[in-house]
Amino acid sequence: MYDSGGLEILTDEECRELLGAVSLGRIVFTDRALPAVQPVNFALCHGDVVIRTSAGSKLAVAARDAVVAFEADAFDSAIGSGWSVVIVGHARVISDDEDLVLLRALPLRPWTPGGREYYIAITPQLISGRRLPAAA
Mean pLDDT estimate for the chain = 89
- What is the Cα–Cα distance from 89 to 124, expressed in whole angstroms? 5
Please give the pLDDT value at position 37.
96
Kindly report, residue by residue over 85-102, the tens digit of the pLDDT.
999 999 998 888 788 787
Amino acid at residue number 130: R
Kindly report, residue by residue over 115-127, the tens digit of the pLDDT.
677 889 999 999 9
Q: Who contacts 95 (Cβ-Cβ below 8 Å, separation ≥6)?
A: none
| CATH architecture entry for 8-131 | Roll (2.30)
CB 42 within 8 A of CB 22: no
pLDDT at 7 exceeding the cut of 90: yes
- DSSP label at residue 95: -
Beta strand 118-132 with 48-53: parallel, antiparallel or unpaired? Answer: antiparallel
What are the phi and psi torsion angles at 32 (to 5°)? Answer: 55, 45
pLDDT at 67 exceeding the cut of 90: yes
Burial of residue 4 (CB within 10 Å: 0-12, 13-18, 19+) is exposed
Dump strand ranges (E) for 6-94. Answer: 8-9, 24-31, 34-45, 48-53, 67-76, 81-94
Please give the pLDDT value at position 115.
64
End-to-end CA separation in angstroms for the chain: 18
